Every structure is written in structure tokens, then in C-alpha cells.
Chain A
């Protein structure tokens, strides 16, 4: 049994890594996606960028660790998934590249064309992964057609099943909500007010789209494995996630930004719980024939590797969580729009703790 336990443990840990990644970078994506709709000028835009400025890079590492952990703990999953979902992953990589450099490059030149270029890069580079991750995870729970040797040969088009597209829009709306609430928390005055308005709109969209995805998967997706955790639990978690999104939207209306953020974050964690429990005991479920799917046991590394990984993770994860948490504590204050400087030079903005 210890074998099975470690395999399942690492399946759950990879689920946690993804959940942590989407919780954290979810609001980075969301902030970028709603920025064009909540700003009035250059200072607003910079406030939005700086709201995630100190933390976005650390947030993105969760993805790299999820990828590395999948490689180490489930080599077959890593190999089949990324060679199968080839062009989708390429799109995400390109998006993350242009988005990553946009933070650093944007401020290096004052010319409007230059700035606009990197604003577009930041927007598109956040929009694409916000949609693609939703598409991908919907495909995982719904299942994709897999050949008898377990390979996915459907190309990019095969991933764009209508239900997956709805799932992609749902994740976009969910991250837009999560990011708007984060902005409302991190900024003040008119900008925060406009962010709350964006949160209301994206919150409503997220409730509808997420509920549609959940219902569609429940009704038409591959049958759950009887007697397994994937029979009932995912539906419970998914319904809880939709409820949390609805709750977050109501909390924003009442200007309870902090509670709303907890609700959106919880919704993301619940949604990932639903995804991973629905996939269980497969890591790559097949929609055509269950036997073609890749299972946890079939993909897992040998015991020794998993033991090493478990020890390393147990020893070092607490430190990572502590210093990453500390970063959020250091930068916990709201960004304040500076009083108009003489001459109205908006780029000389100063940020100060709110009185």
C-alpha cells in the first residue's frame, strides 16, 4: 500500500501546485485582463501594474514547480500531456514570454508606441493563458479521445470541443473576477470603485459560465468511475465553487473586498479540487474508451524517486510558503493615487500608505 499512497499523494500535491498557481497567477492574469476597462489614464495603468509588480514573478514559479513535479513524479503524464497538447502549450509559452518581459520593458521608454506595445503584450499574454488553462482543465475532466497506445492525436482543434470553450471562458471570467477583487483590495478611490464594478460584471459572467461548464460535464462527460472518489465529490466541490463565486460577487457589491478575495480564492481551490478528483484515478482520462486513459499507477515514478521528492518537499516547502507569504505582508498596503504633481506629470507618481 505505501506505493499506492505515495502515488496518490503526489497526484494530490500536483493538484495543489496547480491550485496554488491558479490562485496566485490567476489574479495577476485577471488584473491585466481588466486593466483596460478600469483605468482612465497612465497613472491608473501603472497602479494596476504595480499592484502585482512585486509578486507576479514568484507566483509564476508555481507553474514551473508543477511542471517539474509532474516530470519527476509522473514521467508518462508529463511526456504524453505536453507532446499531445503541443500547440496549446506553445501558445501559453509565447504568451508567458511576452507578458513576462512586458513588466520590465514597458517603463524603459516614454514613447507612446513603445508603451502601447507592451501594454498589448501584457494584456494578450495574460488573456491567452487565462483562457487556455480553462480549456485544458475542462478537457481533462471531460476527457479527450486517446489512441489505443494512450496518445492524444487530435491536435489543437481537437481540444476546442464546445464544452472546453465554455470552460475557457469560465476560467477567463473567474480570473477577471479574482483580479478585479485583488485590484479593489490593493488600490483606493475611483480606481478601486471601478475595479468593483468590473468584479460585478465578471462575477456574474463567471457564475453563469462556470455553472454551465459544471452542468455540461456532469451530464455529458465520461462516466465517473463507480465507487471511486470521482463519483460524487467533484460535483459537490464544483457546486461549492460556483456558490463561492456567487458569494464573492455579492460581497464585492457590499464592498467587503477582503472577504470577496477569500471567496474567489476559495472558488479557484474548490474548482481545482473538483478537476483533480474528477480525473482520479486517471491523470489523462480518455473520452472514447476508458482503458486508453493514463492512470496514476501507470504514469507514476518508482518508489525511490517519490520518497526523495517527498522528503525534499516536506523540508523546503514551509520555507517557500513563509517567505512568499512574508512578501505579501511587506507589500500589503493599498496603492494610493498621488496628488497631482505640479505640472501634472503623472509618471512621477508616488505611492504611500493610505492614511
Chain B
């Protein structure tokens, strides 16, 4: 019981946290780009845009940061047996993430918020770039930890603990570098689609102020090109990951397709009606695509769940090595499908932007607005797929999830689970409300923090920042 509850708790606090992380990474980068354009070109339009999106960035960051604290301790609270087993290796990137990334991000975001008008514009610009570097470094180190769970390297097991033999192997893990590319590019696309959706919507509503309208159109144009490149590269990285997964975690590949029997020239099903146990009522299938994904060859062999189950039983002993198939099958399709739609949407946006017709199509305006949901679907289902697809393992081939849980009572886990769900629901609702309100904010209100008027003139005639909070 504790195990099931602890798994639900981890899934909820992690997926919730990861709604905010890609926005922090992607929007932080784009705000830094906008502020750079403002600085380089002395352009008030980009300056206003960087403040406008900076405000959204900070609301999102607040929730992202506090939900991240929970994760730092979640392993010890609910997964103490896991923590003891992996601590020698998994703990190091976590600690390094704090030292190298969190300090950078948190210290410089304070300087960025409060330093406007106090630091030189050049130094102030540097602070937002350092924040952005911090967010990307943070992704790298936490993925180093996760990649080791997917594909353990550089270790030896001594007295029931995995101990480090080669730290460079842990940092050079092929799984790490491919998932790092996939995750960060996906985060860039997330930020890009947010800027695109909001900019198109705002440009359409700015009927009276031509300067603001054109500023938002420029932001939309930037976001369209940025997102298209980011999503295409995300797909390329994801495609490379799939081949790596096929060799490192074949069961995950097979469960992505619910492919039970080993097959050459395997097809990829777009959707399935009926059960996924190999006897579907109705399927739309694209021939040879699964073989292309897994093996880059037209008739490549893809191993089936039944065969892998046999092989893993022989290797690891009796037991089921099959994940929850409906979850892996559908989360994989949701991720890939959302990604495809993101490519179409940003390509459409780029074509319209090139022809200066971004606002001409009401269908596009709606699509851009609704399209902001796509990256969130892809991000969440992507992680659900990769974590659920590794089951029953928590560390692939070494440690099972079932033996990783803490010896805490189910009542305690229920209490904290309910607590987190209540608090996170409230936080989520408030965050969406504040983001929606900030997205309506006037573009020429230069105050960075809500509506408390602009900057006061000091006695010396220069501009001094107001109280920020």
C-alpha cells in the first residue's frame, strides 16, 4: 500500500513540478534574447516585451522553485531504500546541481529583479543570461541522475550499494546527452509556443496602439522561427533516443508500440481501438515505421514483449518485466502527436509571419492560443512514458521499484499525498489565474511587479527603482 501511494505521490509532485520547469528554461532563454535585442538595438519595443514576458517568467518561476524543493527531499522521505542503494552515484549530481545551478539561478534572479536601474544595463543583461545558464545546467545535472536510472554506467555493486567507479562515465552517459538535448530543446519549444500564443492574441487585441501591435508581432515572428527550429531538433533528438532505448531498454521500445511478437519491418500504429494485448478491434497502421524508429532500417527487427520477457526472466529471475502497456502505448502517442502538431503550428506561424499575415486568419489565432497546451501535454506524457516504461525497474537491471520504498506507514504517505494535492491544486489555479492576468497586462507599464505605478524620480533626477515586492 505504501508503495502504491508513494508512487502516486512521486508521479504527482514530479509531473506538477515539470509543468513549470520547461517554461522556466524556455521562457527564461527567450526573455534573455529579448533583453539582448533591446540592449543591442536600443529598441524600446523589445525592452517592453522583455519586461512583459519577464513578469510571466517570474510568476512561473516562483511555483517552479518551491515545488522543486519537495523533490530534493522526496527520495529520502518515500524512497529511502532506493536512496541508500543509489546515493553514492545519484546524490552527487543532485548536490552538484545545487552548487552549480540553483545558486546561479536563485542569486542572479534576485539581482535581475532588484537590479534594474541599479546595475548598469550591460550587467543587468548579464544577470538574466546567468539565470538562463543556471536553468540549463540544472537540467543537465538532474538528467545525469535520471539517465543513470535508465542506463547505469560507471558503477560497481558492493554490499547492496552501487558505488562510483567512474564519474566521467556517469557524465558521459549516452542516455544523458540525448535526453539532455531532447529535454532542453523541448523546453525551448515550450517557451516559444507560449510567447507565440500570447503575442498573436495580444497583437490582435492591440487595435489602438500601433507600436504595441507591431512589438507583439515581432515577438510572434521570433517565437515562430525559434519554436520551429526547437521542435524539429527535439524530434531529431527524440528519434536518436528511440534507437538508444531499443538497445538499452528494449522492453520500453516494445511497450511503446504494444508489440508482443518480435517482428521485422514492424509497422507503427497511430491509434488502436479495443485492447492492446495483441488483438485490437481496429488499428491504423503505418508500415515499417517502427523498424525505422528502432533500427533506422526498412526491415529491421524489433523485439516483442513476449520474447523480451523470456530473455529478462532468464537474466534476472522469475517475475514480470512488462510495464503497464496502455500507459506506455498512449503516453508515447500523446507525446509524439503533440510534437507533430507543434511542428505544424510553428511552421504555419512562420509562413504567415513571413507574409506579414499573422493576424489574417482567425483559425490560426485560435490554433496559436490552444496550441500553448501542446508542449505541456508532450512534456508530461514524455516523462510518464520514460518513467513508466522502465518499470518494474527503478534503476534498470539493478533495483526494482517495489523494493525501493521507505519503511513509512501508509497513513503518513496518505497524509502527505493529500497535503501536496491540496496545496498544488491551489498553487496551480492561482498560477494560471496570475499568468492569464499578466498576459493581459499593458505593454507600456514598465513596472515589473504588478500594478504599483512606474518609477519614481529621485532628487538627483535619475530614475530609482521602487520597492519591488
Contact = CB atoms under 8 A, between A and B. Distances in A.
Given A82-B76, A320-B99, A327-B110, A71 B83 contact: yes
B69 A93 contact: yes
Contacts of A68: 72, 91, 94-99
8 contacts: A53-B469, A65-B98, A71-B91, A75-B83, A79-B76, A97-B427, A347-B452, A348-B453
Given A72-B91, A93-B73, A94-B423, A110 B110 contact: no
A89 B65 CA distance: 17
Contact of A308 (B67, B76, B99, B164): B164
Interface string B59-85: 101110111011011011110110111
Interface stretch (B31-39, B101-109, B265-273, B394-402): B101-109
A101 B459 CA distance: 34
Nearest to B102: A61
A100 B62 contact: yes
Contacts of B455: 350
A5 interface: no
Interface string A335-355: 100100000010111111000
Contacts of B367: none
Interface string B334-345: 000000000000
B149 to A, nearest CB: 14
Interface string A301-333: 110110011001100110010011001001100
The SS class assigned to the B binding surface is: helix
Contacts of A320: 99, 103, 107
Interface stretch (B210-218, B285-293, B406-414): B406-414
A345 B464 CA distance: 17
A352 B459 CA distance: 9
A178 B85 CA distance: 40
A178 B417 CA distance: 35
B106 A67 contact: no
A104 B62 contact: yes
Contacts of A154: none
A224 interface: no
Interface string B84-96: 1111111110111
B376 to A, nearest CB: 20
Given A60-B106, A68-B94, A83-B77, A352 B464 contact: yes
Contact of B419 (A90, A316, A338): A90
Interface of A: 43, 46-47, 49-50, 53-58, 60-61, 63-65, 67-76, 78-83, 86-87, 89-90, 93-94, 96-98, 100-101, 103-110, 151, 301-302, 304-305, 308-309, 312-313, 316-317, 320, 323-324, 327, 330-331, 335, 338, 345, 347-352
Interface in B301-354: none
Chain B contact residues (Cβ within 8 angstroms of A): what range? 35 or more
Given A71-B76, A305-B164, A349-B466, A323 B107 contact: yes
A348 B163 CA distance: 57
B148 to A, nearest CB: 13
A350 B458 contact: yes
B92 A83 contact: no
Interface in B448-462: 449-453, 455-456, 458-459
Contacts of B83: 71, 75, 78-79
Contact of A64 (B69, B87, B165, B453): B69
Contacts of A98: 423
Nearest to A308: B167
Contact of A83 (B78, B86, B90, B98): B78
Contacts of A78: 75-76, 83, 87, 91
A62 to B, nearest CB: 9
Contact of A67 (B73, B161, B408): B73
B236 interface: no
B434 interface: yes
B283 interface: no
B364 interface: no
The SS class assigned to the A binding surface is: helix
B381 to A, nearest CB: 26
B102 A108 contact: no
Contacts of B84: 75-76, 79
B406 A54 contact: no
Interface in B404-443: 406-408, 412, 415-416, 419, 423, 427, 430, 434, 437-438
A305 B154 CA distance: 11
A305 B370 CA distance: 47
B44 interface: no
A341 B405 CA distance: 59
A58 B113 CA distance: 13
A20 B431 CA distance: 31
Contact of A107 (B75, B81, B165, B449): B449
Given A54-B113, A69-B95, A75 B412 contact: no
Contacts of B86: 75
A104 B104 CA distance: 19
A57 B110 contact: yes
A324 B110 CA distance: 10
B69 A349 contact: no
Interface in B95-143: 95-100, 102-104, 106-111, 113-115, 118-119
Contacts of B119: 330
B300 interface: no
Given A107-B452, A301-B91, A352-B458, A331 B98 contact: no
Most buried by A among B90, B111, B464: B111
A60 B115 CA distance: 19
A100 B66 contact: yes
B80 A83 contact: yes
A79 B80 CA distance: 4
A209 B281 CA distance: 73
A46 B109 contact: no
A81 B94 CA distance: 17
A56 B65 CA distance: 12
A61 B406 contact: no
Contacts of A338: 456
A346 to B, nearest CB: 10
B103 A61 contact: yes
